[in-house]
Amino acid sequence: MPSPVSSRLSAKLCGIPLRNPVLAASGTFAYGIEFESVLDLEQVGGIVVKGLSKEPMNGNPEPRVYEAEAGMINSIGLQNIGVRAFVADKLPALRRHSTPVFANVFGYEIDDYVEVVRVLNGAEGLVAYELNVSCPNTKHGGIYFSSDPALLAQLISAVKAIATRPVMVKLSPNVASIPAVAKAAEDAGADAISLVNTFISLAIDPRTRKPRLGAGFGGLSGPAIKPIALRMVHEAWRTVKIPVVGLGGIGSGTDAAEFMIAGASAVQVGTATFWDPRSPVRIARELDAFLQNEKIGSVQSLTGTLDWGKK
């Protein structure tokens, strides 16, 4: 299988060199090392590991995944082994590879995020953090970090005060205004933003009259959300000066190109890995073919070139 590494695909994110701008998204690529026997990790642009919490979490009741039209709905419940087990058991194996590793971080109080990042600060083999802000803040009555620009700013400021690596913030689409939260993230010191996370949704079994998922509501991802994700990425890019990472229904190289044209400096591939575990490498290769066919010398020159309106 030819490598998708070419000079055309070289990119940077927050000063971090990427062999290509196609990253494996958090929550769909486990901790990265589990895919070592499936594809060459050296060909992946970057790995965003499964979300890490202060303590291990068991996740939501089964069933957790339902195949919807043009996508899937999941309610995994942020199941993970906890940050300390990740540092001890997963990160040493990841360090055997040169692929940049981003640690996805979440919590239910600001102090949770700070503690996870504090533990990660002392670990080698990571290039940056990605904050998952689609969690309810239990200290503030369950309001979601992602839905309140002021609360989001408090969280980012607290993490930035102790983080020794760049901080990327993964925004939820379940908000009234993406520009407002994107600007709040930038003003609070975020080094980059990534979007979009999944859309809150519900699938029903009409015979049992029960939800298809054990937890009831779940997050919709996959091709069905791509047009909305593209719109939100473009809105964010028009609003902020920090890098934007796009995700939401990317399944091909041309999909990746569209997100970059909309304003993304890099992209993440998530749901596609469920039907094609090698999709991050395949999509990078297809993106390179697109660049070659269009006679484009550098993938970075695609970013923000949508011929409609001005930033």
14 is catalytic: no
DSSP of 64-100, one letter per residue? -EEEETTEEEE-----B--HHHIIIIIHHHHTTS-S-
Cα dihedral angle (141, 145, 148, 149), rounded to 10 degrees? Answer: 150
| Predicted pLDDT of residue 166 | 98
Among candidates 87, 72, 25, which has minimal Cα distance to 50? 25
Q: Which two tokens stand for residue 68?
A: 């919807």
> What is the CATH architecture assignment of 7-60+76-199+219-302?
Alpha-Beta Barrel (3.20)
The span from the CA of 231 to the CA of 248, in Å, is 11
What is the C-alpha radius of gyration for the chain, rounded to an integer number of angstroms? Answer: 18
Q: What is the pTM of this model?
A: 0.96
| Predicted pLDDT of residue 211 | 97
CB-based burial of residue 40 (10 Å sphere; 0-12 exposed, 13-18 middle, 19+ buried)? middle
Query: Which of 73, 135, 193, 260 does the annotation list as catalytic?
Result: 135
Instruction: List the beta bridge partners of residue 143.
Output: 137
Contacts of 156 (CB under 8 A, 6+ apart): 131, 167, 169, 185, 188, 189, 190
| Predicted pLDDT of residue 1 | 47
Q: Report mean pLDDT in 10-residue bins for the chain, 311 residues.
A: 73 98 97 96 97 95 94 93 98 97 96 98 98 84 88 97 98 95 98 96 97 94 98 98 98 98 98 96 98 97 89 57
Structural domain spans, the chain: 7-60+76-199+219-302
CB-based burial of residue 248 (10 Å sphere; 0-12 exposed, 13-18 middle, 19+ buried)? buried
CB-based burial of residue 28 (10 Å sphere; 0-12 exposed, 13-18 middle, 19+ buried)? buried
- Reduced to 3 states, what is the DSSP secondary structure of residue 136? strand
Handedness of CA 18, 22, 26, 28 (dihedral sign): negative
Q: Which two tokens stand for residue 198?
A: 């999944």
The span from the CA of 264 to the CA of 305, in Å, is 10
Asked if residue 73 lies in contact with residue 139, where contact means CB atoms within 8 angstroms, the answer is no
Backbone angles phi, psi at 34, to 5 degrees: -65, -20
